[in-house]
Amino acid sequence: MTLTNRIRLAVMFGILSGFLWGCSKDKDVEPPAALVPFAAKLSVQKLWEVRVGAKNPLLRMALVPAVADGHVYVAAQDGVIRDLKASSGHELWRATTKLALSAGPAVGGGLVLAGSSDGQIVALDQGTGVLKWKVRVSGEVLSAPVVSATAVVVRTVDGRVRALTLDTGHELWSNEQQVPRLSLRGTAAPVLAGDAVLCGFDNGKMAAYSVTNGDVLWDTAISPPRGRTELERMVDIDGHIEVSGHEVFVAGFQGRVAMLGLESGQIWWSHEASSNHGLTVDDQRVFVSLSDSKVQALARKDGTTVWTQEALARRSLTAPVLDDSALVVADFEGYLHWLDRDTGALLARIVTKKKSRISNTPVVADGVVYVQTDAGQLYAFRAHAR
């Protein structure tokens, strides 16, 4: 299989993955669950909305706003990166990179960084938007870089992890994992944990590397491939990885939700499940959007099921994100849904303009939910009790 064909298949399965789990051997694919009325317990207010880019109907990009110190940094596929005032959406600066941006932005070390479809990383001055440096890496970037005190760490679709210097983008070290012939479109964003950076891979493995020199600290198979066909053996880790205290939480496609020890990578418990979206955690539970778009809560201590919400099945949900005492997920028709953390019950719902698809997980900061639609619109919402 050529690289072009592998990428084409990866794109196809990335688009269809949410629907594959809604079918069986003797049934047609089930439609997305219809949204039914319910008694809302939260009221959701739209604070502002801003157009930040053109519609991109073909490929799911990892373009997610980054919020820091009262600013919202947002990138669009047309190459423009903006700094907006978090309270109003007012534009403070914009920079035109002339790149087909596909991931980011990330903020740290005085920089705003984004990645492109043709494998470039661009770094701008956080205060002014002036270009600091631009470097080419080995492949398409489909997750935001992460910034430590000493380096920028980048994951690319070819299974490579690279650390770049903050001042020039010069490569400090690189590592890689084998990429299967067939994979979903997407990559899990690297996660910092002290002096380590954690990465999930398309072969179902997670690895921890020293940020300083790239040494492998541990390498753990979360979901070993199973089955006879390449489709059955897909075990990508593409969703959000959570580090909480000395514990790491991860979910894989056609595999498991697992808790690992941060120091050793040892699996402390695992729960059979499939998720290509990712998860979040609180002190007691792990919340995960499954591949069929059911939302599930697991006990943090042992992975047992606490509740399952099926009302949003097959709606191509994003990963959940915490918003005070609620969870927020978004779907393919541009709806955002608030769920009760304790029971999974629906608390509120709001829809974006023209019901534009939302592929990427909303961001919550200071009680405000920010979401970027695939149609290039950025929204800020706040939920409060009725």
DSSP 321-383: EEETTEEEEE-TTSEEEEEETTT--EEEEEE-GGG----S--EEETTEEEEE-TTSEEEEEEE
On the question of pLDDT at 57 being above 60, the answer is no
Question: What is the model's pLDDT at position 309?
Answer: 98
Confidence tier at 6 by pLDDT (50, 70, 90): very low
Read off the pLDDT of each residue in 103-122 and give the average, rounded to a whole number.
97
Dihedral sign, Cα of residue 104, residue 2, residue 11, residue 222: negative
On the question of pLDDT at 212 being above 70, the answer is yes
Mean of the per-residue pLDDT values of the chain: 91
Of 186 and 272, the structure prediction assigns the larger pLDDT to 272
Does residue 15 sit in helix, strand or coil?
A: helix
On the question of pLDDT at 4 being above 70, the answer is no
Q: In what order do the strands lie in the sheet with 111-116?
A: 62-63, 101-108, 111-116, 120-125, 131-136
Q: Are 377 and 50 in contact (CB under 8 A)?
A: yes
Question: What is the model's pLDDT at position 228?
Answer: 85
Question: What is the model's pLDDT at position 130?
Answer: 98
Question: What is the model's pLDDT at position 185?
Answer: 83
Domains and CATH numbers, the chain: 3-385 (2.130.10.10)
Q: Which helix (H) or strand (E) holds 12?
A: helix 3-20
Q: List the one residue out of 82, 78, 123, 83 whose CA is nearest residue 102.
A: 78
Question: What is the model's pLDDT at position 226?
Answer: 84
| Cis-peptide, bond into residue 105, ω within 30° of zero | yes
Read off the pLDDT of each residue in 1-26 and give the average, rounded to a whole number.
41
Read off the pLDDT of each residue in 271-298 and give the average, rounded to a whole number.
96
pTM: 0.92
Question: What is the model's pLDDT at position 140?
Answer: 94
Read off the pLDDT of each residue in 339-352 and give the average, rounded to a whole number.
98
